[in-house]
Amino acid sequence: MSCASLTGVVALENARQVPGKGKTLIFDAQFYLGETSDTPPEPITMVGGLRYYNSNNLSFSQPGLYFVHAIVAKYEKKAYDELYSSVLGGDDYDIVGDIIMLIPIPNADKDTGRHIPLLQVCGSVFEADKNSATFVINAEQRTQVLTDGILPVTAAFPTESARFKNKIPLPGVGTIVYVCGPISDVRRIDNGAPDRFHFSVEQIQFLAKSPVPPRAINPTPPKAPGRKKLQFNFTPNNSSSPPPALSPLSSPQSSPARPQTPTPSSNTRASKRARTDS
């Protein structure tokens, strides 16, 4: 008994059709997680490959911001080749998942996207540490990309919060809980591959005691260093680069019964090289 999902604003780009699935698309997705302490600060993002059934024939010809709810799992390199775009490959993703709800955000600028998504997890506690006020869940979550997916998370109680200052409701090992809060970090192994997702506890509900031991996970296999960049950039709007425009919705009268395959912007690679050279 477990599940994992994300809710919040996401930048979607590089839409492509799944072969043989007329209305099913896959996006390269970026979730904003904060910024570095550099001068000037750089956005920190989490990259995903998300599937979406485009029942309303929306147009996704350009990068844009959307409010989504998606079930997610940690990316594993065994995911099928159709996941990869012309920009990102097997070493560039952190999560995979299925978009359950998608709402376009018209006239959005980059500041609109600078909101950390809410992570929601239900599962059996695998480890708990009173000293650090943290606990671990390895939430099994089936997705269309990974039918045996898992999202390993570490939840931390904000001890400075007035709600948890006097008493921390730390669950014991084997307790099934529902917990949610904003993602604070993606812990990675030395070569950059995602290992575990950290978030701050906002709400927790105790559900039951698990009749079976919580699931352990295998270590993340190594992957090549270096992560490619997507076209959308969360740098604040006081920078010299203009915000990307959202694609308009397709008109129901003019939409074909089967949407044409959206194609990535032709200058994606040029933009990536320009940022690299700078």
CA angle 30/16/118 to nearest 5° reads 25
Cβ neighbors of 224 (< 8 A, separation 6 or more) are 91, 191
Domain that includes residue 132, residue range: 118-209
Task: State the virtual CA torsion across 265, 50, 239, 242 in degrees, nearest 10.
Answer: 40
Q: Would you say residue 264 lies in a domain?
A: no
Q: Would you say residue 254 lies in a domain?
A: no
Q: Would you say residue 172 lies in a domain?
A: yes
CA 192, distance to chain mean position in Å, is 16
Give the model's pLDDT for residue 230: 83
Give the model's pLDDT for residue 220: 53
Give the model's pLDDT for residue 102: 98
Q: Would you say residue 270 lies in a domain?
A: no
Give the model's pLDDT for residue 191: 79
**Residue 9 · residue 111 · CB < 8 Å:** no
Give the model's pLDDT for residue 237: 65
Q: Mean pLDDT of successive 10-residue segments in the chain (278 residues)? A: 94 93 94 93 94 95 96 85 86 95 92 95 96 96 91 96 91 96 92 92 93 63 56 70 39 38 40 38
Q: Would you say residue 181 lies in a domain?
A: yes
Q: Would you say residue 142 lies in a domain?
A: yes
Count of domains observed in the chain: 1
Q: Would you say residue 183 lies in a domain?
A: yes
For the beta carbon of residue 205, count every other beta carbon within 10 angstroms: 11
Report the CATH number that the domain containing residue 191 is assigned in CATH: 2.40.50.140
Q: Would you say residue 173 lies in a domain?
A: yes
